[in-house]
Amino acid sequence: KEAILNGPNVHPGANYVRKNINGKEMKVRVLDDNRELVVENLEYGDVVMRHLKDGDIVLFNRQPSLHRMSMMAHEVRVLPYKTFRLNLCVCPPYNADFDGDEMNMHVFQTDESRAEAKSLMRVQEHILSPRFGGPIIGAIHDHISGAYLLTRDGFTVPEDDAFQMIRKSHLLNNEYVDKKHLKRKNRDWTGKELFSLLLPDDLNMNYKAEICRKCETCLKEDCQYDAFVVIKDGQLTHGAIDEAAYGSFSGKILDTIVKEYGPSRAKEFLDRSTDLAICGIMKTGITTGTNDEEIPEEAIEVIDAHLDKAEQEVDKLIATYEEGLLQPLPGRSAEETLEMRIVQVLGEARDTAGEIAEGYLTMGKQSQDDSYDYVMAVENHSVVMARTGARASMLNLAQITACVGQQSVRGGRITRGYLARPLPHFRKHELGARAKGFVHSSYKEGLDPVEFFFHAMGGREGLVDTAIRTAQSGYMQRRLVNALEDLNVRSDGLVTDNKGQVIQSVFGEEGIDPAKSDFGHVANLDKLIDEMRIKDN
C-alpha cells in the first residue's frame, strides 16, 4: 500500500497492480491521480508491481553471451541517475568496460526463480572459471596498483591513518577480522600488516609475485624486488601484493581462499581487499604522464646505435643474398631464408633497444650515475602498472621509449605494393629494413610519414582479422552447440545422447570438474608441500 501511495514517480513506488477479474488478468496503472483509489480497491491475490529496492536480486547480462558467467545474479543497490553501475571486479567475465557498453537487467518475477538465482547464479558462486579452474573474477587496474603501493617494502602509515583505512575498508565490522590484530602498541602500521587483516588466520602459502624478474638464482625471502610472497598463519611476512595475488585469471591468494574457505569468504576478501587498495592509492597518490617514459639522451644514442647496426647487418645479408652466397636453411629457399634472417635480426635489435630502455624505467628511485647527470623520479607509476600486471606491459613502454619495431602483414614483412615496392618512396625490388616496414622511431619521438603509413598497414590487418575471427568463431560455436545439444550428463557422470547411447563412460574421460581443479590440474603437490614447510617453520 505504501508503494502504491508513493505513486510511479517517487521511489520506492509502484507502476501497476495486476488483478484477476472473472478469470481474466488485468493491469491497473498507478498514477498520481488514482493511487488512493487503487489502494482502496486492493484485494487479496492482487500483485503490486513495485519499484526495485536495495537487496532485490536480478539477472545481469552482457551480449555476446559466450560462457556461463555472461549471466549472473546481482543484488540491487538503488542509486540516482540512469546508468547501470557494477563492481569493477566482475567486469572480466562480462568482458565489460565503460566506453559505452550496453547491458541487460532481468528482474525475477517469482519466489522460486529468486531462490534458484540466490543458490546457483550469484556472482560469488562463479569466481572460479569452469574453463581453466582459476579465478575469472578478481582485482583489476587500480586495485592492483594500489595493493602494490600499499604492501611494498618501506610503506608505513601512522596509527590514526591506519584506522581510517581500516574503517573505510569496512574491516571493523567484518566478522573475519580477528580483533586481537587491532590490540597493539601505538606505532606506525606497515602496509603488509594492514593487508594481513584480510587473511584467514590459518592461511599458509608462498608464491612468486607478478613483479618477479625471473632471476637465475631465486633468493626467495631475501629477494631485492620483494617479489617472493610468504604468508604464515594469516600474516603477510614477505613480498608485495600484485596481480598474482588476487587479480582476475591469476590470483593465487583468491584462488586458495575460494577453494579452502568457500565463495562467501572469497567475496568478503575481494570486496575488502579492493577497498583497502583504493585507500592505499588515496594515501600514496598515483599519477602518470609522458615524463614516465623519459630516458637520458645517452641511452637514446646507444639505442640508435644498436638499431643502425642492425640495419647495416640487414644490408650485409641482402648483399650476400644478391651475390648468391646466402646458405639456405634446411627446407627453405634462399629468399625465405633471407626474410627469416632479417626478421630475426630486427626482432633482436628491438628487444635489445627495449632492454636498454627498461634499465632506466625502474619502479623505484634510481641512484644517480656519475657518467651522466640524470636521476629517475622517486616512483615511476607507468612502470608500476606494467610490472604489477595492472595495465600494459614493459613491451608497450619499450615501444613508447625506444623503438616500435617491425610491422608485419600476413605474418611477414610488408611486401605487397605497386610495381615491386610497398610505397613509391623506395626503389623497385629494394629489400632493406626501412623499405619493408621497420619502424626505427619510438612512439614518444614520433613516426615519420613512411613509418606512419607502414604502421597503419599493420594496424589495419589487426582490425580486419579481429572482425573475421569473431564471425568465424561465432559460427563454429553455433555448429558445435547444435551438434551437441542432445547430449546430457547423468548424475553418475555418464554422458549419453537422446537415444541412451553412451558417448563417454565418465564426463571428460576423467570426471573432473575444471572449476574444482587447480588451474586444470588434479592437485598442486608443490603448493601442498610448501604449506607444510611453512607450518613446520
Q: How many Å apart are CA 265 and CA 404, to the nearest integer?
A: 45
Q: Which residues contact 299 (CB under 8 A, 6 or more apart)?
A: 356, 357, 359, 360
For the record, the C-alpha cell of 31 comes out as 498514477
Q: How many Å apart are CA 425 and CA 421, to the nearest integer?
A: 9
Q: How many Å apart are CA 455 and CA 441, to the nearest integer?
A: 11
Q: Which residues contact 283 (CB under 8 A, 6 or more apart)?
A: 150, 157, 161, 165
Cα separations in angstroms, 151 against 64, 192, 268, 388: 38, 5, 19, 12
pLDDT for residue 179: 54
Handedness of CA 424, 429, 430, 431 (dihedral sign): positive
Q: Which residues of 41-56 are buried (b: 16+ CB within 10 A; e: fewer)?
A: eeeeeeebbbeeeeeb
Which residue bears the cell 583468491? 254
Indicate the SS3 state at residue 48. Answer: strand
Q: How many Å apart are CA 97 and CA 84, to the nearest integer?
A: 12
For the record, the C-alpha cell of 379 comes out as 616512483
Indicate the SS3 state at residue 291. Answer: helix
Please answer whether residues 166 and 173 qualify as being in contact, where contact means their C-beta atoms are separated by less than 8 angstroms: no
379: amino acid identity, one letter = E
For the record, the C-alpha cell of 43 comes out as 484485494
Backbone angles phi, psi at 231, to 5 degrees: -120, 120
In 3D, which of 162, 118, 119, 144 has the Cα closest to residue 270?
144
Q: How many Å apart are CA 194 and CA 415, to the nearest integer?
A: 57
Handedness of CA 396, 397, 398, 399 (dihedral sign): positive
Q: Which domains does the chain have, with CATH numbers?
A: 2-50 (no CATH), 57-126 (2.40.40.20), 142-284 (1.10.274.100), 290-448 (1.10.132.30)
Cα separations in angstroms, 397 against 11, 345, 384, 442: 49, 21, 11, 10
Query: What stretch of H or E contains 8?
Result: none
pLDDT for residue 375: 36
381: amino acid identity, one letter = H
Handedness of CA 245, 251, 253, 254 (dihedral sign): positive
User: DSSP letter string over 98-151?
Assistant: SSS---EEEE--SHHHHHHHHHHTBGGGGSB-TTTSSBSS-B-THHHHHHHHHH
pLDDT for residue 183: 59
Of the CA atoms within 13 Å of residue 230, those in its CB half-sphere come to 16
Q: Which residues contact 224 (CB under 8 A, 6 or more apart)?
A: none
Q: For the chain, give the number of residues.
A: 537
Q: How many Å apart are CA 132 and CA 255, to the nearest integer?
A: 12
Query: What stretch of H or E contains 276?
Result: helix 263-284
For the record, the C-alpha cell of 152 comes out as 611494498
Cα separations in angstroms, 143 against 24, 37, 227, 271, 365: 54, 52, 18, 11, 23
User: DSSP letter string over 458-523?
Assistant: HHHHHHHHHHHHHHHHHHHHHHHHHHHTT-EE-TTS-EE-TT--EEESSGGGT---GGGSBTTBS-
Give, for all 537 residues of the chain, the pLDDT tens digit. 888 888 888 889 888 888 888 878 888 888 888 888 888 888 888 888 999 999 999 999 999 999 999 999 999 999 999 999 999 999 999 999 999 999 999 999 999 999 999 999 999 999 999 988 889 999 999 999 999 999 988 888 888 888 889 888 888 765 555 554 555 666 788 999 999 999 988 889 988 999 888 888 888 888 888 889 999 888 899 999 999 999 888 889 999 999 999 999 999 999 999 999 999 999 888 889 888 888 899 999 999 999 999 999 999 999 998 888 888 999 999 999 999 999 999 999 999 999 999 888 887 654 444 443 333 335 788 999 999 999 999 999 999 999 999 999 988 888 877 788 888 888 888 888 899 999 999 999 999 999 999 999 989 988 998 899 999 999 999 999 999 999 999 988 899 999 989 999 998 888 888 888 888 788 888 888 888 887 777
In 3D, which of 178, 223, 173, 215 has the Cα closest to residue 197?
178
pLDDT for residue 508: 84
